[in-house]
């Protein structure tokens, strides 16, 4: 005999309700996390957003700075010699596929 005011649920129906509730919770959590990814900091009043700000004036480089940049670009190895020679064996590929005249032109 069922007591009045109580509701009995079929076990399969209960499992479905739990699954739907869990799915809704997961979707709500994911939506909250994704919506937080696109937020930006509020800007001070009168300050344009970062995307609309005017670009800064280009700085003039001295000849010494340019020469130093060229030197670093051409000669600095940054400690990765073993990667290019021992692991990737790039020197062997260049020796086989690049003739000496082209190699001298490239530098």
Per-residue pLDDT reduced to its tens digit, 14-29 = 777 878 787 777 777 7
Which whole-number Å values give the CA distances from 103 to 50, 84, 94, 99, in the listed order? 45, 17, 8, 6
Read off the pTM: 0.30
Whether residue 72 is predicted with pLDDT greater than 60 in this model: the reply is: yes
Instruction: Give CA torsion, residues 10, 14, 20, 21, to 10 deg.
Output: 150
Whether residue 11 is predicted with pLDDT greater than 80 in this model: the reply is: no
When comparing pLDDT for 107 and 77, which is higher?
77
């Amino acid at each position: 005999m069922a007591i009045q005011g109580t509701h009995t649920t079929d076990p399969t129906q209960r499992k479905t309700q739990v699954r739907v509730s869990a799915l809704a919770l997961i979707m709500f959590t994911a939506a909250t996390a994704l919506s937080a990814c696109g937020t930006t900091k509020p800007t001070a009043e009168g300050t344009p957003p970062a995307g609309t700000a005017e670009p800064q004036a280009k700085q003039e480089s001295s000849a010494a700075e340019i020469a130093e940049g060229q030197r670093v670009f051409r000669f600095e190895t940054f400690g990765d010699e073993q990667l290019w020679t021992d692991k990737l064996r790039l020197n062997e590929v260049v020796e086989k596929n690049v003739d000496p005249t082209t190699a001298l032109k490239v530098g």
